Structure 1
Amino acid sequence: MLKTDAFAPSRFTSEGTITLRGAKVPYRTVCEDNVFYDNDGKPIASIFSYSYFRSDIKDTKSRPVIFAFNGGPGTSSMMLHVGFLGTRRIKYRDIDDDSLPLPHYESCDNEQCLLDIADIVMVDPVGTGFGRLLDESKKDLFYGIEPDAEAILTFIQAWLARYNRWQSPKYLLGESYGCTRAATVAGRGSLGASDRAFSVPFDGLILIGNTVTVGKHFRDKAPVHPAVLAFPTLAAVNWYHNRPSNQTVEEFVAEAKRFADTEYLLALYRGRSLDADTREHIIQRAMYYTGVSREYLERRGLVVDDVEYRREVIRHKGRYVARLDGRITRPLYDPPM
């Protein structure tokens, strides 16, 4: 373990320019440790942040700030950083390319970066990426749903003060467990705390791979059947690969969600008490929206399992879809990703 008496906070800055949606955007980056100290002034942990500022903005009061983190909860912000939010990203290959990527890996300008409309702060929580736990005896202050959220909130409060951004619209962006983290941080921020001078009101949450309702993976059951919750996502994957309709993906998914929220939910509740005509109607609609076979639906009692679905939706093509991105496919004989 890194000794606290050897720890020296790091800070790096750089400048660059990127073209976004036809306009040149100059920017400045600040990558730095954000250190937590005990009552004796000894450093006990650090959250590492990567801040991107658009540098041609004079008045930042109305300019949004997005604080972004990945999930795990042990994952750094790397995947969001180099895959989605940063000014540079990994250069992707064709999503149906079955060959394994080999070094040397390439990067390119990220034409989808949001820096033209908002400043971006990527966050490595304590114990992830360059975020460090410096005193093992203090881990309970940072590990766990509530301590983790409180540490993130304390960091955000300090960041807002350091860069004079209290007046800026503030957003939290989380991926996977980061969604749970974002919701918890926002909740604690709105309530305040006895050991914090200020509450931190947020203007919105951006949830990617939402886990807020993923109760089936924990001790408590989800309040709604998991197959109903997953249904719109499965419909989107089916639309992408099989094009069952001339509708746009938004129209198709909205229609699938209405079916899932009403007829499908009631059918799962009624189970074996469904009459034959209603059961046949549900099977036909579920086949249409999800792309799975009649045999699968009858075998699974109308339940479309989101894990099994990856192997069912394009089984007729001899392929399965990836776990983290339903557009990506691999040969069916490969082990699941």
Structure 2
Amino acid sequence: MIFSFLVAPRRAGTPAALFAALFFSALAAASFAAADEVAPQTPAHHGAAEAPSPAATTPPHPLPPAAVTTHVVDLPGRSLHFKAIAGAIQLSDSQSGEPLADVGYVAYVLDGGDPAKRPITFVVNGGPGAASAWLDLGMMGPWRLNLGEQPTSPSAPPITVDNADTWLDFTDLVFLDPPGTGYSRILSKSETARHHLYSVEGDIEALSVVIRKWLGANKRLESPKFIVGESYGGFRAPKLVRRLQDTEGVGVEGLVLISPVIDFAWFEGTNNPLPFVTHLPSLAAAARGLTVADARQSLADVEAYAAGPYLTDLVRGERDPAALARIVDNVTRITGLDAAFVRRLGGRIDPLSFARERGRDEGKISSRYDSNVSAFDPFPHSASTDYSDAILDADKTPLASAMADITANRLGWPVDARYEILNESVNRQWDWDGKRDKNQSLSDLKQELAIDPRLRVIVMHGLTDQVTPYFASKLLIDQIPPFGDPDRISLKIYDGGHMPYLRDQSRAAMREDARKLIEGK
């Protein structure tokens, strides 16, 4: 999140808080060119790649040449033979030729496919500052880190298993790590270049060049192309499609947006009632212990109340005692929280208050990434709390270890550097070109659906995600005209939270929905 990742900061100075903010900014600077470093076209057996000397790979030195290895995974009912490519595309200043950044990737290509017909899917996470290992080892790749039941332990052995839910059956996969995440690094000493790469516009420009260059180098420009983005990656994806189409000459047939932020204005703002509206159904789902099997029917009353009377009474404001009384009564009933607590908050329940208050008697605090997962509150008697998130902070450690081990020892691409699974520095430096809440990609999505009748989109959400609640996407999708076929964009909801794929049944269901999109069914 993966996750994932996106969220508003929990509390200044805490690591997960910075990622709970998951998003970026914009700054126009130099344009990018891609260096000629290309993945080798002839597969080498595992271990055949010559290991670079450790001194040559530590930042800010360039990443080593690409390594190609061959593998097979034996899964229920089938065996998949595939090639893995681990490498980097180097971005250079289009005018001076100065190296700007190395963007690392891991690609998996199934043996025997026709490149002109075989789909290729590019995968990017969010943050800003989150690496693609969340989606690679958590959901889609040929190997999966078996995290077991949530919450997991940061000291859990980082042992991977063959992934029965891999998407490799129906699409080749390229996992991208933007600069500052994974092993990707900025090479330039120019602060202007760094600011551009760590901005909304510069980030999209860099990633679109990397995608176009990878397609050309690997002779896949004819392939059907798809993009998967999680969290802030779901914000990136529509913008990537538009820039690939308008500037790079690359068309994309489909998008899978996992727990996306499509419009930041719907998630934040001191005087904005929308965040309370969009979170209420997910708070109710957690309070009622609902599963996705009965969720939408059971939450129909909450959704109708949230988008109707609740919003109306919130707009009436603090000076209307009758409106405030109605809000308190209804929110108390819906969330199961103490009425006095709800009254103190004016019926405006933010996710952090909900996370702490519902488990206060047990000394526990739930994860913003999934309200049904809790851990002990380290300061249960404090007025406020500073805690490690039971999902984000627990899962990132074994994921980082597992990805580093696979890259070096299974893919033959050792890098003498830390694998940045969640880079706080990137998150802190992100330039939003002003306020974050002015950024949105809904307009990009509308324009793409309007101009391209072939484009199809799935928006995927976990039911009890308090970071990017599903109801926000539902209301935003309602703002998109049908453009002849309203079914070209669909909303799918699964058990779980911000990274619903951490649950076995949800991961399998997400795979099936993605397969239908990619295969055009």
Counterpart Cα distance in 2 of 1:289 and 1:312: 15
Counterpart Cα distance in 1 of 2:341 and 2:117: 53
Which residue is 1:230 aligned to?
A: 279
Deviations 1:147-170 (A, max 9, x none): 110010011111222233334332
Which residue is 2:202 aligned to?
A: 147
Q: Name the SS of the counterpart of 2:84 in structure 1.
A: strand
Counterpart Cα distance in 2 of 1:329 and 1:223: 28
Q: Name the SS of the counterpart of 2:372 in structure 1.
A: coil
RMSD (CA atoms): 3.4
Q: 1:117/1:269 Cα in 2 relative to 1: closer, same or farther (>3 Å)?
A: same
Which aligned pairs between 1:262-281 and structure 2 lie closer than 5 A?
A: 262-272=308-318, 276=322
Contact 1:20/1:112 (<8 A) preserved: no
Q: In the TM superposition, what is the alpha-carbon distance from 1:186 to its structure 2 partner? A: 2.5
Contact 1:271/1:301 (<8 A) preserved: no
Deviations 1:224-248 (A, max 9, x none): 6211122233233334xx34x9961
Q: Name the SS of the counterpart of 1:136 in structure 2.
A: coil
Which aligned pairs between 1:159-308 and structure 2 lie closer than 5 A?
A: 159-190=214-245, 192-193=246-247, 196=248, 198=249, 200-215=250-265, 225-239=274-288, 242-243=289-290, 248-253=294-299, 255-272=301-318, 276=322, 282-283=327-328, 285-308=330-353
Q: 1:272/1:68 Cα in 2 relative to 1: closer, same or farther (>3 Å)?
A: same
Deviations 1:40-60 (A, max 9, x none): 555332111111122242x24
Counterpart Cα distance in 2 of 1:246 and 1:157: 38
Q: How many residues align?
A: 324
Counterpart Cα distance in 2 of 1:131 and 1:54: 25
Q: In the TM superposition, what is the alpha-carbon distance from 1:261 to its structure 2 partner? A: 1.6
Q: Name the SS of the counterpart of 1:201 in structure 2.
A: coil
Q: 1:318/1:143 Cα in 2 relative to 1: closer, same or farther (>3 Å)?
A: closer
Counterpart Cα distance in 2 of 1:15 and 1:134: 30
Q: 1:17/1:246 Cα in 2 relative to 1: closer, same or farther (>3 Å)?
A: closer
Counterpart Cα distance in 2 of 1:78 and 1:297: 39
Runs of 4+ in 1 over 4 A off after TM superposition: 1-6, 39-42, 220-224, 272-276, 278-285, 314-318, 332-335
Whether 1:25 and 2:80 are equivalent positions in the alignment is yes
Whether 1:16 and 2:48 are equivalent positions in the alignment is no
Contact 2:284/2:302 (<8 A) preserved: yes
Question: In terms of mean alpha carbon deviation, does 253-262 or 145-154 score higher?
Answer: 253-262
TM-score by length of 1: 0.81
Q: 1:111/1:253 Cα in 2 relative to 1: closer, same or farther (>3 Å)?
A: farther
Counterpart Cα distance in 2 of 1:118 and 1:110: 15
Q: Name the SS of the counterpart of 2:85 in structure 1.
A: strand
Counterpart Cα distance in 2 of 1:30 and 1:122: 10
Counterpart Cα distance in 2 of 1:2 and 1:96: 35
Contact 2:102/2:185 (<8 A) preserved: yes
Q: Name the SS of the counterpart of 1:72 in structure 2.
A: coil
Return the letter of the residue paired with 1:151: A
Counterpart Cα distance in 1 of 2:337 and 2:171: 41
Q: Name the SS of the counterpart of 1:327 in structure 2.
A: strand
Which residue is 1:310 aligned to?
A: 355
Counterpart Cα distance in 1 of 2:100 and 2:112: 37
Return the letter of the residue paired with 2:123: A
Which residue is 1:112 aligned to?
A: 165
Deviations 1:28-75 (A, max 9, x none): 211111112344555332111111122242x24443322112222223
Residue of structure 1 aligned with 2:178, choices 107, 122, 125 = 125
Q: Name the SS of the counterpart of 2:90 in structure 1.
A: strand
Which aligned pairs between 1:46-65 and structure 2 lie closer than 5 A?
A: 46-57=102-113, 59-65=114-120
Q: In the TM superposition, what is the alpha-carbon distance from 1:122 to its structure 2 partner? A: 0.7
Q: In the TM superposition, what is the alpha-carbon distance from 1:303 to its structure 2 partner? A: 1.0
Contact 2:60/2:187 (<8 A) preserved: no
Identity %: 27
